Structure 1
């Protein structure tokens, strides 16, 4: 169940807090292929299961940028904003891909609010999103996401 914020003050008071984690999501070959088609990255380590089986990872792996993009999938499953007039993805800082995400892996997002700064009419929140891989001590991605929330 996502944590809920209703104001700039509530977000500011939560800096330094763990926000929780999402449910697990299985990374399928179909999702990897759809991403490959969307961005034009058809490298065999992502889209050729037979060749990838013999490659360095023993199976196809998700694109790093697919894993990063899934931060947007996990975010609303971790954080819910009430009384929101508008929310904007402002950017990212410090994107890292510590471990490959093999096809069939289950991943989830874990969030930590690291910073909240006032902006005209709202707040700019930095949430460190860690994309965990079930059974792996190293995450598939760690990214500091920056969002701006404007309240009614």
Structure 2
């Protein structure tokens, strides 16, 4: 994990790659729990027998499940000390170029795009790329926007 002592030190890293998270295995139990939480019970996610005959040969994680892994993965990559809190503010760009089959291992890589001051605090834009072990395309690419509150 990369630790920045304050926002000023984080600003010095703009334009750089911040590192990678550890690997996380996406299980059927996690997929089913996400389906229950969101009401999205499409067969390609929750019915292994049907999904085995489908286009991916198995169940796949919801795209938004993959996106929801961002907080747990990014917290393994970097942190900024000297702030009260960080708040998710939104996303500028989001794509799901490739599926995440059940039992896949995924990890995130982070590139720091910008750090700017605003009346809310310090706005941090980070490009996160979630890759699947053995995959040839990213599973998710998102520009996250966070606010660091001094």
TM range (shorter): over 0.9
In structure 1, list runs of 5 or more residues that go unmatched. none
Find the counterpart in structure 2 of residue 149 from structure 1: 148
Find the counterpart in structure 1 of residue 97 from structure 2: 98
Find the counterpart in structure 2 of residue 78 from structure 1: 77
Find the counterpart in structure 2 of residue 18 from structure 1: 17
Where in structure 1 do 4 or more consecutive aligned residues deviate above 3 Å?
Answer: none
Structure-1 separation of matches of 2:120 and 2:69 = 28
Residues 121 and 33 of structure 1, relative CA distance in 2, 3 Å threshold: closer
Q: TM-score, normalised by structure 1?
A: 0.95
Whether the aligned pair in 1 keeps the contact of 2:10 and 2:80 (CA below 8 Å) is: no
Find the counterpart in structure 2 of residue 67 from structure 1: 66
Shift in Å at residue 120 of structure 1?
3.0
- Number of equivalent positions: 150
Residues 117 and 59 of structure 1, relative CA distance in 2, 3 Å threshold: same
Shift in Å at residue 84 of structure 1?
1.8
How well do the aligned residues superpose, as a CA RMSD in angstroms? 1.0
Find the counterpart in structure 2 of residue 129 from structure 1: 128
Shift in Å at residue 80 of structure 1?
1.3
Structure-1 separation of matches of 2:7 and 2:24 = 30
Q: TM-score, normalised by structure 2?
A: 0.96
Structure-1 separation of matches of 2:104 and 2:53 = 18
Structure-2 separation of matches of 1:83 and 1:15 = 18
Structure-1 separation of matches of 2:120 and 2:12 = 17
Shift in Å at residue 112 of structure 1?
0.5
Structure-2 separation of matches of 1:145 and 1:121 = 16
- Match of 1:102, SS state, is coil
Structure-1 separation of matches of 2:67 and 2:54 = 23
- Match of 1:77, SS state, is coil
